[in-house]
Amino acid sequence: MTREEIFRKLQTIFRYTVGDDEAVLQSITENSDLYTDLGLTSVGMLYIVIAAEEMFGIRFEDVQFGDFKTVGDVIDYILRKTA
C-alpha cells in the first residue's frame, strides 16, 4: 500500500472526526497537525486509532497519542505496521 492510498483512506476517517467541512477536509496534508490544524481531541484521536486499526488490519501497540503530531506521523506508523 502506498502513502497516497493510506492518505486517501485516512481522509474517510477524518470526515467523521472533523466533520463535513469541505474546506477543512481539502486543506489536510501530511504536514497537517492533528491537534491544531484538525482540532482533534483525545476522543477524536481515539476514534482515528480504532477506525485505522479496523481499516488497515493493524494494532496500535507501544504508542501513545502524543507520539503522533501530524497526519504524516500516522501514515508512517501504518506503513511500518503493514510492511
| pLDDT tens per residue, range 8-61 | 999 999 988 887 778 888 899 999 999 999 988 889 899 999 999 999 999 999
Question: What domains sit in the chain, N to C, each tagged with a CATH number?
Answer: 3-82 (1.10.1200.10)
Distance CA 16, CA 14 (A): 5
Name the band, by pLDDT with cuts 50, 70 and 90, for residue 80: very high
DSSP assignment string, 3-25: HHHHHHHHHHHHHHHH-S-HHHH
Question: How many CB atoms within 10 Å of residue 44?
Answer: 19
Task: Look up residue 70 and give its three cell numbers.
Answer: 501530524
Question: 25 and 42 in contact (C-beta within 8 Å)?
Answer: no
Q: Inform me whether the pLDDT recorded for 65 exceeds 80.
A: no
